[in-house]
């Protein structure tokens, strides 16, 4: 795929997966053997849609009004880098913390490698600490963001 097509794929990913919650798009755009790093617990890996979908559902369940904005996006070869921000309200207990009603703003960077029109690898770095502090999770013992995803 050309860099322009890879960038379009990632714009679609953020809009349809994160903003709309489309499981069909996850299954279409994420390779079955894809590996993701940095989505949750340190050193935990997400393998393909089977692991990614429960992770996505936990985040969207906790923050049903999640809106991700792409701040910057560029590609080189088979890789695309995205700098993004997200605004959301903690309305669900899907992270093991009772809904707080708190508004949350976080930022992050995602880099992916695309092969055969699908995401093959992904690396995420996002402000989980701020999110967990705002919703009061750091006061809840035993809370794990990506419990059981690896």
DSSP 63-101: -TT-EEEEEEEEEETTEEEEEEEEEEE----TTSS----
Contact 31, 115 (CB under 8 A): yes
Please list the pLDDT of the chain residue by residue as tens digits (150 residues): 699 999 999 999 999 999 999 999 999 999 999 999 988 777 789 999 999 999 999 999 999 999 999 999 999 999 999 999 999 999 999 888 899 999 999 999 999 999 999 999 999 999 988 998 999 887 655 555 544 433
Q: What is the pLDDT of residue 142?
A: 55
- Integer CA distances (angstroms), 131 to 73, 120, 138, in order: 23, 27, 10
Q: What is the pLDDT of residue 129?
A: 87
Q: What is the pLDDT of residue 148?
A: 42
Tokens of 46: 């997400």
Residue 3: CB atoms within 10 A of its CB come to: 15
Q: CA 138 from chain center: how many Å?
A: 20
- Annotated domain spans of the chain: 3-139
Topology annotation, domain 3-139: Nuclear Transport Factor 2; Chain: A, (3.10.450)
- Phi, psi angle pair for 85, to nearest 5°: -135, 160
Q: What is the pLDDT of residue 87?
A: 97
Q: What is the pLDDT of residue 41?
A: 75
């Amino acid at each position: 795929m050309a860099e322009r097509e890879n960038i379009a794929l990632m714009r679609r990913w953020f809009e349809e997966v994160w903003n709309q919650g489309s499981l069909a798009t996850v299954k279409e755009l994420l390779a079955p053997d894809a590996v993701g790093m940095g989505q949750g617990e340190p050193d935990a890996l997400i393998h393909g849609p089977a692991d990614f979908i429960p992770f996505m559902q936990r985040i969207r369940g906790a923050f049903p009004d999640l809106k991700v904005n792409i701040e910057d996006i560029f590609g080189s070869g088979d890789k695309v880098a995205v700098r993004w921000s997200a605004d959301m309200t903690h309305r669900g207990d899907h992270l093991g913390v009772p809904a707080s009603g708190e508004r949350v703003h976080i930022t992050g960077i995602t880099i992916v490698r695309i092969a055969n029109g699908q995401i093959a690898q992904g690396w995420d770095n996002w402000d989980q600490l701020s999110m967990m502090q705002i919703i009061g999770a750091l006061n809840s013992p035993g809370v794990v963001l990506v419990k059981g995803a690896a």
